[in-house]
Amino acid sequence: MPNIFKKKNASEAVVGKWDLSAGDEGFDSEKAQKQEKIKHIVKEVFVYVFLTLCAVLAFLPFYWMIISSLKTEMEFRESVPTFFPHTFQWKNYWMIFHQVTTTTGTSASFGQILVNTLVVGLLSTLLGLVVIIITAYALARMEFKGKNLLFAIMLATMMIPGELFTVSNYITVAKLHMNNSYTVLILPFLVSVYYIYLLRNNFMQIPNSLYQAAKVDGLSDMGYLIKVMIPLTAPTLISITLLRFIGTWNSYIWPRLVNTQSWQMITNWVTGGFVDRVQPDGFSLYGGDYGTTSLDTLKMAAVCMVSLPLLVLFIFCRKYIMRGVSKSGTKG
């Protein structure tokens, strides 16, 4: 028998490490309670200070962006920065809306850019969703020769960085004379293997008995897809829709490569310079004092125009966006 676990008489208290009276002379419960409480409060305060600091740092750039966009350029350049604008220069926004960037004969106004982004965003999201759904459906529910091989090849392409495709695609669209069109912005990105994979797994989780029940109830395959599978996977579909639209909104490289300015997207627009240009009617913010220098306040106004819609979208669709994000996070 192990020597440390000798039988102890019932009357004999266990003497050793755990003799409670050993360390402190008569354990004072009140004192200890007080100490514990103080320790707890100190820890609590520390945690909250740390988190608040992080939250402030996370939010600071947004705050700075908004107030800077409303300052006059003079105030922005003061050597002691102000944390709240003295005067609100709403005309900054007026100026960037009327700004027409010109390079080599092509021009783009904010209106044009916004239309581009919305049209491309909506079309590529909707068409993409259709392609993703029917492909995922076929892969999840239909039987045909070579299905598994096809799926394996599709998954394998996820391993390859998209940049490898870009060079060839750039040449392809140039040869097909697709430059300067919406098609060129939409077509190459309609298929997203990752979303197909995600949706296929979602579809496969739907029990087969539901399909059989639908058959008994006289539903066709298409009817089953539309009336049963799509509603059941709605949360995933909403997440996909949102993330795709955000992706299009943020697209920068491809539009820059294949299209000239008037055909580009909002993110391309924001990287341009914004100057206090004298308008045809003689109006200008600072009387042309800054010449052709790009002004940071105007740039911040443009940055707001790009960032704020995303923030609004986030506030209203937080649940779906976060779910979509954490889903891709646990894909493993």
Site for another protein in 115-174 (CB under 8 A): 131-132, 134-135, 137-139, 142-145, 147-150, 154, 157, 159-161, 163-172, 174
**Alpha carbon distances (Å) from 88 to 71, 78, 110, 301:** 6, 16, 22, 12
Interface with another protein, residue 291, by CB under 8 A: no
Are the CB atoms for 222 and 159 separated by under 8 Å?
no
Residues between 233 and 252 with contacts to another protein, criterion CB under 8 A: 246, 249-250, 252
Residues between 49 and 68 with contacts to another protein, criterion CB under 8 A: 50-51, 54-55, 57-59, 61-62, 64-65, 68
Residue 199 Cβ vs another protein, minimum distance, rounded to whole Å: 12
Task: Please tell me the number of Cα atoms within 13 Å of 229 on its side-chain side.
Answer: 28
Question: Under DSSP, is residue 103 helix (H, G, I), strand (E, B) or coil?
Answer: strand
Closest to another protein by CB, 53 vs 210, is: 53
Residues between 311 and 330 with contacts to another protein, criterion CB under 8 A: 311, 313-314, 318, 321-322, 325-326, 329-330
Interface with another protein, residue 196, by CB under 8 A: yes
Interface with another protein, residue 25, by CB under 8 A: no
Pick from 285, 121, 137, 307: nearest CA to 211:
137
Residue 87 Cβ vs another protein, minimum distance, rounded to whole Å: 16
- Whole-angstrom distance, CA of residue 46 vs CA of residue 52: 10
Cβ neighbours around 280 below 10 Å, total: 7
Note the maximum CA span of the chain: 104
Interacting residue with another protein among 178, 190, 228, 238 (CB under 8 A): 190
The residue range among 106-114, 182-190, 201-209, 229-237 that interacts with another protein, by the rule CB under 8 A, is 182-190
Interface with another protein, residue 84, by CB under 8 A: no
Q: What is the DSSP string of 235-271?
A: HHHHHHHHHHHHHHHT--HHHHHHS-GGG--HHHHHT
